Amino acid sequence: GDENNASEMGAFCNQFDKICNETGCSTIYCHHHSKGAQGFKKAMDRASGSGVFARDPDAQLDMIQLETDSEFINNYADNQSDTAWRLECSLREFPNFKPRNFWFKYPIHVLDDADTLNKLYSEGDPKNNLSKSGKRSQTPETRKEEFDRAFDINSDDGKTALQSDIAEFLGVSTRTVRDRVKEFSDEYSTEKGSVSRKK
């Protein structure tokens, strides 16, 4: 069928449900991103074709390449051919886990245990341009997106993160982190050096 046709893709995905119901097994399938850079989209919206691919699965794991330059590769990669990647998720029944970064060192993927990739943005993320230019947008929306990302990457359980870790990630002081928490107090709180996300 046509991957851009919602009704055809809905019928296609229904076949997976049939397999699961009749066999008692889970079904896993692999799909690809649409053309062009995808960093400006949420993980669930990067799939090529119909939005059915975002709505139908119970769990999605998305791999996206991170943008690096020659200086970064020279400093942190073992080989010039290594590439940096991030695994993100969209889970229907469970809280999303913290994004995981890794290197692709042909022919294997290796977790970035040293956290050298944490500060990188995915290809196509508009915040990459701000980082390159040395400018920071001062709109509340951009500050909120930046803070959300810093919290998600530095929180192991999706509920709390250290002020110091968020500050280091953003390149600001812990005082600035506390100010951001006050600004976004409808969603965050802070106590004893820790930032918590409200339910």
Judge if 140 and 107 occupy the same domain. Answer: no
- Show the domain range for 10: 6-111
Judge if 67 and 152 occupy the same domain. Answer: no
Q: Check whether 104 has a pLDDT greater than 60.
A: yes
Judge if 87 and 151 occupy the same domain. Answer: no
Quote the pTM value. Answer: 0.61
Angle between helices 174-183 and 163-170 (to 10 degrees): 100
Judge if 50 and 143 occupy the same domain. Answer: no
CA–CA separation, 187 vs 160, rounded Å?
12
| Residue at 117 is within a domain | no
When the pLDDT of each residue in the chain is averaged and rounded to a whole number, the result is 86
Q: Check whether 39 has a pLDDT greater than 70.
A: yes
